[in-house]
Structure 1
Amino acid sequence: MNLKATLRGQTFVFDSIKEVLAKANEEKSGDILAGLAASTGLERIAAKEVLSDLMLSDLRDNPVVPYDTDEVTRIIQDQVNEKIYSQIRNWTVSDLREWILDNETKESDIKRISCGLTSEMVAAVCKLMSNLDLIYGASKIRITAHCNTTIGSRGNFSTRLQPNHTTDGIEGITASLFEGLSYGCGDALVGLNPVNDTVASLSEVLKRFHEIKQQFDIPTQTCVLGHIKTQIEAVKNGAPTDIIFQSIAGSEKGNQAFGFSTGTIREARQLLISQGTGTGPNVMYFETGQGSELSSNAHYGTDQVTMEARCYGYAKAFKPFMVNTVVGFIGPEYLYNSKQVIRAGLEDHFMGKLTGVPMGCDCCYTNHMDADQNDIENLTMLLASAGINFTIGVPGSDDIMLNYQSNSYHDAAAVREILGLRPIKEFEIWLEKMGIMENGKLTKNAGDPTIFTYNR
Structure 2
Amino acid sequence: MSRYRQTLADHTYEFDGLAEVMAKATPLRSGDVLAGCAAHTDAERVAAQWILADIPLRTFLTEHLIDPEVDEVSRLILDAHDATAFAEISTLTVGGLRDWLLECVTRSDAAARLRTVGPGLSAEMVAAVSKLMRNQDLIAVARACEVTSRFRTTIGQPGRLATRLQPNHPTDDPRGVSAAILDGLLLGAGDAVIGINPASDSARATGDLLRLVDEIRTRYEIPTQSCVLSHVTTTIELCEAGAPVDLVFQSIAGSQAANEGFGVNLAVLQEGMEAGRSLGRGTIGDQVMYFETGQGSALSADAHRGIGGVPIDQQTLEVRAYAVARAFDPFLVNTVVGFIGPEYLYDGKQIMRAGLEDHFCAKLMGLPMGIDVCYTNHAEADQDDMDSLLTLLGVAGAAFVIAVPGADDVMLGYQSLSFHDVLYARRTLGLRPAPEFEQWLVRQGMSDADGRVQPLDIDRSALRGLGASA
- TM interval, shorter chain, is over 0.9
Q: Distance in 2 between matches of 1:129 and 1:449?
A: 52
Q: Distance in 1 between matches of 2:69 and 2:24?
A: 26
Q: Distance in 2 between matches of 1:117 and 1:449?
A: 53
- C-alpha distance 306-93 of structure 1, shift in aligned 2 (>3 A): same
1:220-235 equivalent positions in 2, closer than 5 A: 220-235=224-239
Name the structure 1 match of 2:308: none
Q: Distance in 1 between matches of 2:320 and 2:375?
A: 23
Task: State the TM-score, normalizing by the size of structure 1.
Answer: 0.97
Name the structure 1 match of 2:136: 132
Name the structure 2 match of 1:289: 294
Please say if 1:192 is aligned against 2:191.
no
Q: Distance in 1 between matches of 2:385 and 2:184?
A: 22
Q: Distance in 2 between matches of 1:30 and 1:417?
A: 35
Q: Distance in 2 between matches of 1:230 and 1:114?
A: 33
Please say if 1:263 is aligned against 2:264.
no
Residue 84 of structure 1: how far off its partner (Å) = 2.6
Give CA deviations for 1:228-272 in whole Å, capped at 9, x if unaligned: 111111222221011010000101111000011111111111111
Name the structure 2 match of 1:13: 14
8 A Cα contact 1:60 1:120, kept in partner: no
Name the structure 1 match of 2:97: 96
1:158-237 equivalent positions in 2, closer than 5 A: 158-237=162-241
Name the structure 2 match of 1:416: 426
- Give 1:284's aligned amino acid: M
1:62-77 equivalent positions in 2, closer than 5 A: 62-77=63-78
Please say if 1:35 is aligned against 2:36.
yes
- Give 1:157's aligned amino acid: L
Residue 86 of structure 1: how far off its partner (Å) = 3.7
- C-alpha distance 449-86 of structure 1, shift in aligned 2 (>3 A): farther
- Give 1:298's aligned amino acid: A
The secondary structure found in structure 2 opposite 1:122 is helix
- Give 1:11's aligned amino acid: T
1:241 to 242, 245, 248: 245
Please say if 1:440 is aligned against 2:440.
no
Q: Distance in 1 between matches of 2:91 and 2:4?
A: 17
Residue 455 of structure 1: how far off its partner (Å) = 10
- Give 2:240's aligned amino acid: K
- C-alpha distance 452-28 of structure 1, shift in aligned 2 (>3 A): farther
The secondary structure found in structure 1 opposite 2:32 is helix
Q: Which runs of 5+ in 1 are unaligned?
A: none
Answer with 146-155 or 118-127: which moved more.
Answer: 146-155
RMSD of aligned C-alpha atoms? 1.5
Q: Which runs of 5+ in 2 are unaligned?
A: 306-310
Name the structure 1 match of 2:59: 58
Give CA deviations for 1:106-139 in whole Å, capped at 9, x if unaligned: 1111111111111000000000001111111101
Q: Distance in 2 between matches of 1:303 and 1:372?
A: 25
Residue 69 of structure 1: how far off its partner (Å) = 1.1
2:377 to 345, 358, 367: 367
- Give 2:286's aligned amino acid: P
Q: Distance in 2 between matches of 1:341 and 1:154?
A: 25
1:142-161 equivalent positions in 2, closer than 5 A: 142-161=146-165
- C-alpha distance 125-444 of structure 1, shift in aligned 2 (>3 A): same
8 A Cα contact 2:223 2:437, kept in partner: yes
8 A Cα contact 1:241 1:278, kept in partner: no
1:350 to 351, 360, 366: 360
8 A Cα contact 1:191 1:225, kept in partner: yes
- C-alpha distance 110-98 of structure 1, shift in aligned 2 (>3 A): same
Number of residue equivalences:
455
Residue 451 of structure 1: how far off its partner (Å) = 9.4
2:277 to 273, 276, 285: 273
Name the structure 1 match of 2:313: 303
- Give 1:283's aligned amino acid: V
The secondary structure found in structure 1 opposite 2:51 is helix
Task: State the TM-score, normalizing by the size of structure 2.
Answer: 0.94
1:114 to 103, 118, 124: 118
Residue 444 of structure 1: how far off its partner (Å) = 2.1
The secondary structure found in structure 2 opposite 1:22 is helix
Q: Distance in 1 between matches of 2:248 and 2:26?
A: 33
The secondary structure found in structure 2 opposite 1:14 is strand
The secondary structure found in structure 1 opposite 2:324 is helix
Give CA deviations for 1:54-105 in whole Å, capped at 9, x if unaligned: 0001122122111111111111111111123244222100110011111137
Q: Distance in 2 between matches of 1:170 and 1:124?
A: 46
- Give 1:144's aligned amino acid: T
Give CA deviations for 1:333-392 in whole Å, capped at 9, x if unaligned: 100000100000000000000111110000000000000011011101100100000000
- C-alpha distance 452-350 of structure 1, shift in aligned 2 (>3 A): farther
Answer with 407-416 or 82-91: which moved more.
Answer: 82-91
- Give 1:363's aligned amino acid: V
- Give 2:4's aligned amino acid: L
The secondary structure found in structure 2 opposite 1:194 is coil
- Give 1:410's aligned amino acid: H
Where has structure 1 moved over 4 Å in runs of 4 or more? 448-452
Residue 2 of structure 1: how far off its partner (Å) = 7.2
Residue 172 of structure 1: how far off its partner (Å) = 1.0
Q: Distance in 1 between matches of 2:270 and 2:461?
A: 40
Name the structure 2 match of 1:316: 326
Q: Distance in 2 between matches of 1:142 and 1:359?
A: 10
